[in-house]
Amino acid sequence: MVSKIWLINVMLVACALILGVNAHHVWTDKGRPLPRVRGDAQDAALPGQKPADRPKKLARSAYKVVVEKNLFSPEREEFVPEVPEEAAEPEASPVKISGRKVVLYGVILMDDYQKALINNPTRKGDEPPNRWVAVGDTVGNLKVAAIEKESLLLNDGGKKYEVLLYDRKKQRSGGPSAGSGQSAPQVISTESSRKKVEKQGKAAEKSADSGEYKVVKTPFGDVRVKKK
């Protein structure tokens, strides 16, 4: 039993000596020196790295954008996006070509088919008084820009004109107009008729003579009736 304890103690002492020697070497060893940081012209490759694999240093001009657009600059201004200019609205005034007003009679709008029927303001000779136009056609010095449901847009360079299918100022109502000739129903008052009959009865009583008339009593009063 005693021999086993001595054997364990000897083994522990040997381990302690080995660890102590290793610790002494760690503390006393200076190790390899770190690589020096050299200038741009004298840059050398790091150990285990090829010169071609080294990151290239950017030129000063590459940082110019960062300096000019400094987020923390006191002179930095808020970015305001440009607002596109609104397109000029077409004029709704009467459009005249060669002194004649352009009149829109109707439109046809289908999938790939758009036509508008207008008068022919530039009519000459035996030309028809009306004509069909499509987008891109010319009417005098104007060009058909668009055909819509209730209007026709004509373009003269940067200026647009709108020809309406109907007058927006007029009310599109299906009811009869004020001058359609329909008179209001007549209202007959029974009170006024009764008073009129009573007056006639009283006059008959006063003017009754040789028996040509007789007085008949009615719900509205006495009425003088001529004898047959």
What's the whole-number mean pLDDT along residues 172-179?
46
* Burial of 139 per CB tally in 10 Å (0-12, 13-18, 19+): buried
Given this model, what pLDDT does residue 79 score?
Answer: 75
Q: Supply the pLDDT for residue 17.
A: 92
Query: What's the confidence (pLDDT) of residue 49?
Result: 56
Tell me what the mean pLDDT of segment 9-21 comes to.
92
Q: Domain locations in the chain?
A: 96-164, 195-226
CA distance 224 to 204: 5
User: Considering the chain, what percentage of its residues have pLDDT values greater than 70?
Assistant: 61
pLDDT at 225 over 90: no
The more confident residue out of 58 and 14 is 14
DSSP one-letter code for 38: -
Answer with the residue of higher pLDDT: 68 or 129. 129
Structure tokens at 24: 């002494």
Residue 58: the pLDDT is 78
pLDDT band at 175 (very low <50, low <70, confident <90, very high): very low
Spatial distance between the Cα atoms of 119 and 129, rounded to a whole number of angstroms: 6
Q: Specify the pLDDT at position 115.
A: 92
First to last CA, the chain: 174
Range 96-164: architecture per CATH: Roll (2.30)
